[in-house]
Amino acid sequence: MSKVACIGECMVELKQAQGIQAGLFSRGYGGDTLNTAVYLARLGAGTDYITALGDDPLSDEMIAGWAAEGVGTGWVIRLPGKLPGLYLIETDEKGERRFFHWRDSAAARSLMDLPQTAEILNSLAGYDVVYLSAITLSLYGAAGRTRLFAALKRARENGARFAFDTNFRARGWPDLDVARAVFQEAFATADIVLASTEDLLPLYPDMTNEALLARIPGAEVVLKLSEPASIVRLESVPYPIKAKPVEAPVVDTTAAGDSFAAAYVAARLVGADPIEAARAGHRLAGIVVCHPGAIIPRAEMPSGLIPNHANSRKASP
């Protein structure tokens, strides 16, 4: 079984009820890379989640939930006296969400500065794919990111692939210049870049799709567009991909990108070419947005999503 390491943060989620109960909130948990880890595990990839949590009951609940989904928790570091971050969400009538965060002292932000950090970073060389997002990188300071990038480069020398998701949230960065510099280092290091115009245009305003792709030097790049489509660029050749129309009503766009990433990586791990992998990503994302919340019921997971390949095939449109 292929092994994937997902690095990031999971937070306590408070979701506002609708209608006459609008003053009430339900509690769950969520985070971009955690959502991807869950979908990867459901799609058959051996998946570990790497993060730090507190020693509180909410952290206990998170770990139990991840384990129930088949996500490995051996690299979840527990920090005495710390807590996970917290966010509150509001969802409008179109399924779009607004977030409010309390996370400055969250345990996950310490991951690159712990006694266990060196062991964690050395372990990355044992995975087939290491996956993280721009949100992950925003958690750590400059020194922590330097340690992480150095470990990613060592892991790649040992055969691991680094998949970078451009999930961008401006509030996580001190300024856009810092974010741009970190993005460029991630682009230069990554084997697979999963980007979107929604993420990149705030950093590089008014650029065309072609110009955005030109900023990313990697050989395997996916640029998701504002419409249900993407461009897969392989060895400098762009291939446009159209997603099948979503037939059911869109109720919540949470985890659309996270589930796309999971299906893409899972498909690539079994030998699907990037074109097939992008189509799998669009299909899963199209199902996820028709359900409330980031993680859909197991019964709603589509069958036959991941192509059954023994070996990679040459990409074709």
Q: How far apart are CA 129 and CA 264, in angstroms?
A: 12
- Please give the pLDDT value at position 154: 98
Please give the sequence-ordered ranges of beta strands (E in DSSP) within 97-256, or none if there are none.
97-102, 129-133, 161-165, 192-196, 220-224, 229-234, 237-242
H helices of 43-175, in order, are 57-68, 117-123, 134-138, 142-157
- The contacts of residue 16 (CB under 8 Å, 6+ apart) are 22, 24, 25, 88, 89, 90, 91
- Please give the pLDDT value at position 98: 75
Long-range contacts of 62-67 (CB under 8 A, 24+ apart): 62/10, 62/29, 65/29, 66/10, 66/34, 66/37, 66/38
Q: Say which CATH topology domain 3-9+32-76+104-300 has.
A: UDP-N-acetylmuramoyl-L-alanine:D-glutamate ligase (3.40.1190)
Helix (H) or strand (E) holding 278: helix 274-288
317 residues of the chain, pLDDT tens digit each: 789 999 999 999 887 776 666 678 888 888 999 999 999 999 999 999 999 999 999 999 999 999 999 999 999 999 999 999 998 877 666 656 677 889 889 999 999 999 999 999 999 999 999 999 999 999 999 999 999 999 999 999 999 999 999 999 999 999 999 999 999 999 999 999 999 999 999 999 999 999 999 999 999 999 999 999 999 999 999 999 999 888 889 887 888 999 999 999 999 999 999 999 999 999 999 999 998 888 999 999 999 998 775 444 433 33
- Please give the pLDDT value at position 93: 67
- Please give the pLDDT value at position 311: 41
**Which bin fits 180, alpha (ψ -120 to 50), beta or left (φ > 0)?**
alpha
H helices of 190-255, in order, are 197-200, 209-214
- Whether the full predicted model's pTM is greater than 0.95, yes or no, is no
Q: How far apart are CA 170 and CA 202, in angstroms?
A: 8
Catalytic residue among 48, 56, 252, 258: 258
Q: How far apart are CA 68 and CA 1, in angstroms?
A: 19
Specify the DSSP class assigned to residue 250: P
Q: How far apart are CA 157 and CA 80, in angstroms?
A: 35
Helix (H) or strand (E) holding 53: strand 46-54
Whether 258 is a known active-site residue: answer yes
Looking up tokens 């992998």 gives 277
Q: How far apart are CA 177 and CA 21, in angstroms?
A: 42
